[in-house]
């Protein structure tokens, strides 16, 4: 069967079907999915019970693996491949972790609006998140369309953000949660700099790139930068720009980090929530 798309809104989000992702896809289907991603930015696939090898093989059709901080944290994981990010309150032994376990509390940073790996020097392209166990309530994931957000930017904000450069640091969202790091820890992971207004390569449209990872903006004091980021996130995540995904087990959701923000929503941390993610980057030569 061929790829079928049921748009969620006219230009943002689509439910994709017609392909068994476990079977592997060829270059033509890969190109079709990339076209759909260029238009809709978020694709939802239901009933795709991928094992680790199948998830990884599907991922690598779209680019080289982005390791994010995995090479820095070097934590062993419960998967077959090092490149999986564990998005679960489950330990390496498969058991539910205590709600105050360090990796549970630090994963709460995913509940801020962010893009994956914006603090890397490479450009994170797609993330692919696969769900196994979902709590009865809560734990949705929301996505915001940064192209629409740019199109609807009020003129006064538009004047401010044109040509602004921002610095993204991976520990910033955790600092906002109250974690404290030494200067050495901060310096250990170098930040990345990106303009706030960028062009989305897939659609040629401008976007407002405002993930929570921004901790500094050139020419501004830190408090001024913080409030501007808050205001831009508030603008970009108005309901008309947002798709809220209610997970079912075996959903795979893929999104384009170059034109979206996303965040997880609160859930009961004593309930099991088990998802796993891969991310690919643009070919380094194109960044």
Residues of the shown chain interacting with Mn ion in the complex, contacts defined by CB under 5 A? 116
CA distance 82 to 71: 9
Closest CB 112 distance from Mn ion, rounded Å: 9
d(CA 78, CA 86): 8
For ligand OGA, the closer CB: 112 or 150: 112
If binding is defined by CB under 6 A, does position 264 make contact with ligand OGA?
Answer: yes
Q: Is 24 exposed, middle or buried (0-12, 13-18, 19+ CB in 10 A)?
A: exposed
| Residue 259: CB minimum distance to ligand OGA, A | 15
Tell the burial category of 174 from Cβ atoms under 10 Å away from its Cβ (0-12, 13-18, 19+). Answer: middle
- The C-alpha angle with vertex 107 and arms to 164 and 227, in degrees rounded to 5, equals 30
Q: Which of 59, 89, 141, 173 binds ligand OGA (CB under 6 A)?
A: 141
List 48, 89, 110, 173, residue binding ligand OGA (CB under 6 A): 110
Query: Is the CB of 97 or the CB of 129 nearer to ligand OGA?
Result: 129
Identity of the residue, 153 or 252, whose beta carbon is nearer to Mn ion in the bound complex: 252
Say if CB 20 and CB 49 are below 8 A apart: no
Q: Which is nearer to Mn ion, 29 or 189 (CB)?
A: 189
Nearer to ligand OGA, 262 or 272 (CB): 262
Q: Considering beta carbons, is residue 153 or 172 the nearer one to ligand OGA?
A: 172
Closest CA to 143 of 258, 7, 23, 262: 262
Supply the minimum distance, in Å, between the C-beta of residue 262 and Mn ion.
6
**Burial environment of residue 133 by CB neighbours within 10 A (0 to 12, 13 to 18, 19 or more):** middle
Binding partner selected for residue 282 from Mn ion, ligand OGA, none, CB under the kind-specific 5 to 8 Å limit:
none
Please tell me whether residue 109 binds ligand OGA under the rule CB under 6 A: no
Using alpha carbons, select from 43, 187, 172, 40 the residue that is nearest to residue 118. Answer: 172
Query: Does 41 participate in binding ligand OGA (rule CB under 6 A)?
Result: no
**DSSP H/E element including 38:** helix 27-40
Distance CA 260, CA 49 (A): 25
Q: Extract the tokens encoding 89.
A: 């309150």
Q: At closest approach, how far in Å is the CB of 283 from ligand OGA?
A: 21
Name the residue nearer to Mn ion (CB basis): 19 or 166. Answer: 166
CA 120 to chain centre: 13
The one among 55, 147, 168, 277 contacting ligand OGA by CB under 6 A: 277
Q: Does residue 261 belong to the site contacting ligand OGA (CB under 6 A)?
A: no
Does 127 sit near ligand OGA (CB under 6 A)?
A: yes
Subset of residues 155 to 184 that bind ligand OGA, contact rule: CB under 6 A? none
Question: Least distance to ligand OGA from the beta carbon of 81, Å?
Answer: 16
Token pair 């820095």: residue: 72
Other Cβ atoms within 10 Å of 221 Cβ, number: 10
The residues of the shown chain that bind ligand OGA, judged by CB under 6 A, are 87, 110, 116, 127, 129, 141, 262, 264, 275, 277
């Amino acid at each position: 069967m061929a790829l079928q798309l049921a748009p969620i809104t006219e230009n943002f989000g689509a439910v994709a079907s017609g392909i068994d992702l476990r079977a592997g896809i060829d270059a033509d289907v890969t190109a079709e999915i990339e076209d759909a991603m260029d238009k809709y930015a978020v694709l939802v696939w239901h009933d795709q019970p991928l094992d680790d090898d199948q998830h990884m093989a599907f991922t690598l059709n779209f680019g080289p693996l982005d390791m994010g901080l995995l090479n820095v944290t070097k934590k062993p994981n419960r998967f077959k491949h090092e490149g999986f990010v564990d998005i679960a309150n489950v330990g390496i032994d498969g058991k539910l972790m205590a709600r105050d376990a360090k990796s549970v509390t630090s994963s709460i940073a995913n509940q801020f609006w962010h893009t994956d790996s914006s603090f890397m020097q490479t450009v994170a392209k797609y993330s692919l998140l696969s769900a196994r166990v979902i709590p009865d309530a809560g734990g949705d994931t929301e996505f915001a369309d940064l192209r629409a957000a740019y199109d609807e930017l009020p003129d006064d904000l538009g004047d401010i953000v044109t040509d602004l450069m921002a610095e993204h640091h991976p520990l910033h969202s955790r600092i906002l949660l109250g974690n404290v790091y030494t200067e050495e820890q901060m310096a250990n992971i170098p930040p990345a700099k990106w303009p706030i207004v960028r062009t989305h390569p897939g659609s040629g449209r401008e976007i407002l790139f405002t993930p929570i990872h921004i901790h500094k903006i050139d020419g501004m004091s830190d408090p001024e930068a913080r409030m501007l980021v808050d205001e831009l996130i508030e603008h970009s995540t108005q309901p008309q720009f947002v798709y809220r995904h209610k997970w079912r087990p075996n959903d795979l959701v893929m999104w384009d980090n170059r034109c979206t923000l996303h965040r997880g929503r609160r859930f009961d941390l004593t309930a099991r929530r088990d998802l796993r993610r891969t991310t690919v980057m643009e070919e380094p030569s194109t960044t």
